[in-house]
Structure 1
């Protein structure tokens, strides 16, 4: 482009673009190319700055990897964490976020306390005679709520138990849930599962969650 004239640029455009291009736009392109291409002033220090930025990136990458390794080792020492991470679709990062927001899980006496802490409890938004929609309160730990939501999506995709529950919630004949509503309900279900495992340090048993579901729903996922 730097070596071409505006007329030559316009001729090369014409076979591909019939409208919206003209000699004025071609002239601007050529002028911009001559001012921006082949600049040599300060190139040495620009390369040095780029090298420094790449070095910083590699350093940060190594530090993050080291922190991830230390975090995973630390999480495994928490009560019930190993059993939680054995759930297909859950990783150490999610479990670490869960404990960082919840703290000592033995201090809770009921899983509903965790649901309230995450701001996932339901509330009807009404005023006077107007009856509004029932939505989650969002009065709680937003980071915990976000971690649960990000965790439940791969669980619904890859974990047979949560996949069966999601299919049932969204396709049942009576009061089927929308996909988003089902994900929120499953976030609450996941909290209850983590509560039980944290309290008893027991293995995850998906059959207990799908007990009572129509056999057709379970077989479609199995």
Structure 2
């Protein structure tokens, strides 16, 4: 499909013919509602409510067959809003039945809900009809069913994000615990998550525990936990600070138990994070073109997995601009008559894909010689603002990723300079 917006819109409209039964489905957790129209938007038949299970899908199939026979139509297209994860089951069922499934932007559904009756009323039946109306006007996008590798990356990276949030939360709570119970620990260990600090918190969690020990006892404990201990001077300093700490001396048993749980959560999150990253690298090895992309300075395996998990197979995009639009990085203009507004990012796309493309670009500007040179030229010669230069480089990165994937070529820095000239 063409990547220019107008050409793409024309193709989507032309896809709906006079032989099509256009069905809009309002998705819910347990019960969906379907409405049908023809290519002109005339409502056909009665609404159908069906459950999100096998029997419900069977009744939906019979309803479609009856409408096709009644109105002498031969093609079916079914559209729905991507509401959370509730639409997954129906979309996969439609794929198995060889029925074309498409998605409609929920934001546009809200904007178009008054087209039929000029009222702000809202119901499941009306929403289904609005979705069907938008489909016959070309306001939809095909469902991109990812292959196993890309689906695995998406699940793994979403899981990684959850684990990182837990890890950050555990670290923050450890910092809070230290501030309350033993704030002087920061004078010995500047980083509370280093091996020495964590070993100290595990072995001697409370200042009163340190007061009962001497330097040899502290060092002996450190030797059992790590290969290289923090030294005699630090051990003595730790004991001295423990004796004159200003930390809380109440509820010590509860604080000790709390720290034990925090450290367990920290260790568990780190273990899970390492397991996820190992699995991600294993999945990337099964995708043919990832080796060429990872050879580019500034692109890491985790960053590439994040992009592929959100975008799917890059070879499926006609152009890098299609990837940018999928991420919501296409430009939007607001102008009228003599008034010209500023160009802004539409941000109508996948926010996580947009986020990771930005992070990769920032990393490449710092580490990749070609991107760093282009950024300097944009800022110093072309006098662009730094963020505007970064946005241009994100577009270049999207075109680079899609181009390498589709052409089956290796990264050539000379081509990057040629395109930038």
Q: What range is the shorter-chain TM-score in?
A: 0.7 to 0.9
CA distance in 2, matches of 1:212, 1:81: 22
**Contact (CA 8 Å) 1:152, 1:183: kept in 2 or not?**
yes
Q: From the two aligned structures, give the one with the greater helix fraction.
A: 1
Structure 1 residues 213 and 137: CA distance shift in structure 2, 3 A: closer
Partner of residue 318, structure 2: 109
CA drift at 1:95:
0.5
Shift of 1:107: 2.1
Distance in 2 (alpha carbons) for counterparts of 1:83 and 1:60? 31
- Number of aligned residues: 176
Within 5 Å, which residues of 2 pair with 1:59-138? Answer: 59-138=268-347
CA distance, structure 2, for counterparts of residue 212 and residue 70 of structure 1? 36
Secondary structure of 1:125 counterpart? strand
CA change 1:105–1:154 in 2 (3 A) is: closer
Of the three residues 351, 354, 369, the one matched with 1:160 is 369
For 1:143-158, list aligned pairs within 5 A: 143-158=352-367
- Please show how residues 201-212 of structure 1 align to structure 2 within 5 Å: 201-211=408-418
Structure 1 CA distance, aligned partners of 2:405 and 2:349? 20
Scaled by the length of structure 1, the TM-score of the pair is: 0.73
Structure with more contact order per residue of length (Cα contacts < 8 Å, sep ≥ 6): 1
Q: Residue by residue, what CA displacement relative to the aligned partner does 1:24-67 show, whole Å, maximum 9, x if unpaired?
A: xxxxxxxxxxxx86634x32232122112211211111110111
Structure 2 CA distance for partners of 1:47 and 1:111, relative to 1, 3 Å: same
TM-score (norm 2): 0.40
Distance across 2 between alignment mates of 1:114 and 1:159: 22
Alignment check: 8 A CA contact 1:155 1:162 kept: yes
Q: CA RMSD in A?
A: 1.9
Deviation of the 1:137 alpha carbon: 1.5
Q: Are the counterparts in 1 of residues 319 and 403 from structure 2 also a CA contact under 8 Å?
A: no
Relative to total residues, which structure has the larger strand share, 1 or 2? 2
Gaps of 5+ in 1: 1-35, 215-222
| Separation in 1, partners of 2:266, 2:408 | 40
Q: Work out the CA distance in 1 between the residues paired with 2:248 and 2:319.
A: 68
Match of 2:262 among 53, 78, 102: 53
Partner of 1:190: 397
Contact 1:76 1:82 in 2 (8 A): yes
Gaps (5+ residues) in structure 2?
1-245
Q: Structure 2 vs 1, CA of residues 73 and 128 (structure 1 numbering), >3 Å: closer, same or farther?
A: same
Give the equivalent residue in structure 1 for 2:10.
Answer: none
**What is the SS of the residue equivalent to 2:335?**
coil
- 1:164 Cα shift? 1.3
Cα 1:38–1:102 change in 2 (3 A) is: closer
Does structure 2 retain, via aligned residues, the 8 Å contact 1:83–1:203? Answer: yes
